[in-house]
Chain A
């Protein structure tokens, strides 16, 4: 019994990290029709920036925030100087941002030497919590809590604040929103910064258990893509549900079918696509 709870918690904590990565992807796409495949690269840079900042300051919180901030600056620069030129050209956006992912990976290799290094966990999260007989790393519970809090805040932001209402309006109809005097480009920039910020946070938080290795950037990116395909592109709720589903499937897949673990992640996506191409919560087709 305890082992099942542990697998479940592992799956949920991984799902929460995917949520952080997928939210940015889905918001940016839903709002701006921009496909940003450099989110894997953001993750990678986020891991290393977090490590460096935590090394110099010793502060976990500062490290996570610094990762988020640096990545959001990178994101905004990419949006302003590159992606804005490629409006409504998804293929060009894909290839451009894949190119950036390569560049980021090589920069990370240049600066940090490609070793797997991780952020120092806060002291209070180092002693295992016992579930029955089995010790469970409290850091994962911490990630679940953080993920849930961020999801809650995002939901409040989108549903209960004025800016959130503006974002929803712009998602529904850009032209009308612009015509009503909403500064859509500024809104775009804000959402892009937010999405990139979350990807950076995901890197700093998730590095210790997703890991950094050759190809990790594309692997997490693809997982995030599956999440938003399963959940439905442009939907926050879809991103959350999709993340949890994929996180759990990933974990149980590794337990039950270790050889085909990666296959078990892609299979539900294909099934959902065959039944409902717009994803579980997607409104567009």
Chain B
């Protein structure tokens, strides 16, 4: 895919804004919010690859996110402070877990796929929740932030984490972008639209789904590992059913099967959650209503609804 100069300018403007922002507006609170958006966007973009582009609505994706987070945290606590070890192992464990999930759940069609991903996700949750002596159970594991980038350089402080997350966010964005604009990505979309036809065209549908699932698992593991460093704390919530559901909601709300949809959705939901938490105790109610309204009125997603207009402008 070749870009028009307008698209390049748009990318460039967004990149510059994201890079310069902490200097221009040095607010601790907004930097923290934005860091959360960046990390969760990695997660939702990864989910979007299977749920949005391939049409495999997984309700168990927090398992990959959570396993990445716990892997990084456990390595940090028991083995080494080295960040690269935690990150790479987090990515690896997320991907391996995704491969195991895929072997079981890809055999089942339709709504069974949703059930089974959900149940498999719960299996992972059950381990981190129950294995108290190793994972801390429902108390979680505190004090796992501030890893060493090099032997004498420690990652700490809000702005540092912001840039750290930003780097991986940009990398993920370009990985996803590269995939969905490649022939491989077109086959994934073809599977979503009509997998029988794709199969008759001679493609190994199962293998394409399998690979998409694993890539998604890698990136979810990455997001989880970054999240555990940033948060300095992991808890079973990071592998919970609620988180899986929320990620899927974000993908739909933002626009599933679009490149920027998960990012827009993440921004909206992170803002809603934080603003509501500040003003009312009824955040659970508002969250529930957000689900209901999204499903009833915003199925095409924000990007889906406004995308056409944006596209005509960007060319």
Contact = CB atoms under 8 A, between A and B. Distances in A.
Contact of B108 (A29, A92, A277): A277
Given A262-B130, A267-B123, 5 more contacts: A33-B111, A95-B245, A225-B119, A260-B127, A277-B107
Interface of A: 29, 33, 35, 82, 85-86, 90-92, 94-96, 98-107, 109-110, 218, 222, 225-226, 229, 233, 259-263, 265-267, 269-270, 273-274, 277, 285
Contact of B252 (A95, A269, A273): A95
11 contacts: A35-B114, A95-B249, A96-B296, A98-B291, A102-B288, A106-B288, A222-B118, A262-B122, A263-B123, A266-B120, A270-B120
Given A99-B291, A109-B284, A263 B130 contact: yes
A260 B127 CA distance: 7
Given A98-B245, A103-B292, A259-B133, A92 B299 contact: yes
B118 A106 contact: no
B179 interface: no
B178 interface: no
A266 B289 CA distance: 30
Contacts of B120: 266, 270
B62 to A, nearest CB: 13
Given A106-B282, A259-B132, A266-B126, A226 B291 contact: no
Contacts of A270: 104, 119-120, 123
Contact of A229 (B119, B242, B249, B295): B119
Contact of B241 (A86, A102, A106, A222): A222
A154 to B, nearest CB: 22
Contacts of A109: 284
Given A106-B284, A266-B122, A273 B291 contact: no
B210 interface: no
B110 A90 contact: yes
Contacts of B248: 91, 95
Contacts of B118: 222, 225
B240 to A, nearest CB: 8
A273 B284 contact: no
Interface residues of B, number: 44
B57 interface: yes
A266 B118 CA distance: 11
B130 A261 contact: yes
A35 to B, nearest CB: 6
Contacts of B252: 95
Contacts of B282: 106, 110
A95 B294 contact: yes
Contacts of B57: 90-91
A133 B140 CA distance: 40
B130 A82 contact: no
B288 A273 contact: no
Contacts of B188: none
A273 B104 contact: yes
A259 to B, nearest CB: 5
A232 to B, nearest CB: 11
A261 B245 CA distance: 24
A85 B296 contact: yes
A260 B294 contact: no
